Amino acid sequence: MPTIDILLPGFGLDTDQGYPAFCGVFLVRGPDAAGQPRNILVDAAHVGRRPFLWTALADHGLSADDIDTVVLTHAHWDHVQNIDLFPGATLVVHPDERRYAHTPHANDWATPAWTGLLLEQLPVREVGDGEEIIPGVEVLGLPGHSPGSIGLVVHTEAGRATITGDALHFAYVATTGRNPLVFWDADQAARSIGRILDVSDVIYPGHDRPFRLTADGGIDYLAPFALTVTGAGPDTPGLRFADSSARPSWVMPGIQEQRALYEKNADDSARRISRVPRVVRPAAAPRAAGPGSG
């Protein structure tokens, strides 16, 4: 059966000066339909975690070249920026997310205008709800947080485990049923949370630790919290800690225009996709060493 390892844990840490934005990065491994072992990376984090991603891969006996597939739960900045480390991989993304990334809304601060240039650096496979990546690993359509958010349902020995991306940022969202940060459609986002709860025994959120819901609706975390901060501490004058139990909700201003703009921009997105130069290339394939070659 396929397995899930946490390469980089997700954290819900925020500040009043900027977002550290540490999303979960996962390694899904299992045989494909032909029985060949596959190494699937789910989300890639932002550049500030790049050295940590290298180390995490090495800790799992892998180099970037061993990753054959990179699945993006969505195209927000903190999930996509390290995809250029995997020039030999196929990028798996929902078509709505790909197209939108080429003409994002001006108020969508998590999708800079140059996001499409980044996405097209890898060969893209577009996938929709229900598609299989390898046996036991299926795409779950989870729109709302962004136009083409997806999850992966992985049939593990521990049950059906869903990697949700930011369709479900934090464990507490499983109890409120509302996405705290909506860039596309709040009602769709709420339905997507319901879908995750329906199909999952274990949930791997976008910015939190994996958990199960208990019989009485409580949160049972499956991994401890572990983070070391340098540069400031409890004794640093001016450093404060605020309660985040009531994290405020945010819906992007202009969200009601999103769908019409997306349709209006369809041709522009297609044209942009066709024009992106590929600056990231796989290393030259090793020369086949045939019999007698020296």
Question: Which of 32, 39, 52, 222 forms a contact with its own copies (CB under 8 A)?
Answer: 52
Tell whether residue 145 is a contact of its own copies (CB under 8 A). no
Question: Which of 2, 12, 141, 144 forms a contact with its own copies (CB under 8 A)?
Answer: 12
Tell whether residue 147 is a contact of its own copies (CB under 8 A). no
Tell whether residue 293 is a contact of its own copies (CB under 8 A). no
Tell whether residue 270 is a contact of its own copies (CB under 8 A). no
Tell whether residue 239 is a contact of its own copies (CB under 8 A). yes
Tell whether residue 237 is a contact of its own copies (CB under 8 A). yes
Separation between Cα atoms, residue 24 and residue 72, nearest integer Å: 12
Separation between Cα atoms, residue 46 and residue 52, nearest integer Å: 11
Rounded least distance, CB 238 to its own copies, Å: 4
Tell whether residue 50 is a contact of its own copies (CB under 8 A). yes
Rounded least distance, CB 90 to its own copies, Å: 17
- CA dihedral sign, ordered 105, 108, 111, 112: positive
Among residue numbers 101 through 130, which ones bind its own copies (CB under 8 A)?
Answer: 102, 109-110, 112-114, 116-118, 121
Tell whether residue 100 is a contact of its own copies (CB under 8 A). no
Residue 9, token pair as written in the block: 């844990």
Rounded least distance, CB 41 to its own copies, Å: 16
Rounded least distance, CB 82 to its own copies, Å: 7
User: Does an H or E element contain 213, and which?
Assistant: strand 211-213
Contact in structure between 114 and 102 (CB atoms under 8 Å) = no
Residue 91, token pair as written in the block: 């990028």
User: 221-253 burial, b if ≥16 CB within 10 A, otherwise e?
Assistant: eeeeeeeeeeeeeeeeeeeeeeeeeebeeebbe
Rounded least distance, CB 112 to its own copies, Å: 5
Cα 142 to the center of its chain, rounded Å? 12
Tell whether residue 221 is a contact of its own copies (CB under 8 A). no
Question: Which of 1, 58, 229, 270 forms a contact with its own copies (CB under 8 A)?
Answer: 229
Rounded least distance, CB 102 to its own copies, Å: 7
Rounded least distance, CB 247 to its own copies, Å: 8
Tell whether residue 77 is a contact of its own copies (CB under 8 A). yes
**Cβ neighbours of residue 207 under 8 Å, at least 6 residues apart?**
10, 11, 12, 21, 22, 23, 24, 166, 169, 170
Separation between Cα atoms, residue 141 and residue 59, nearest integer Å: 31
Contact in structure between 1 and 156 (CB atoms under 8 Å) = yes
Kindly list the residues in this chain that would bind its own copies in the complex (CB under 8 A).
8-9, 11-22, 45-52, 54, 77-78, 81-82, 84, 102, 109-110, 112-114, 116-118, 121, 224-234, 236-244, 247, 272, 275-277, 279-280
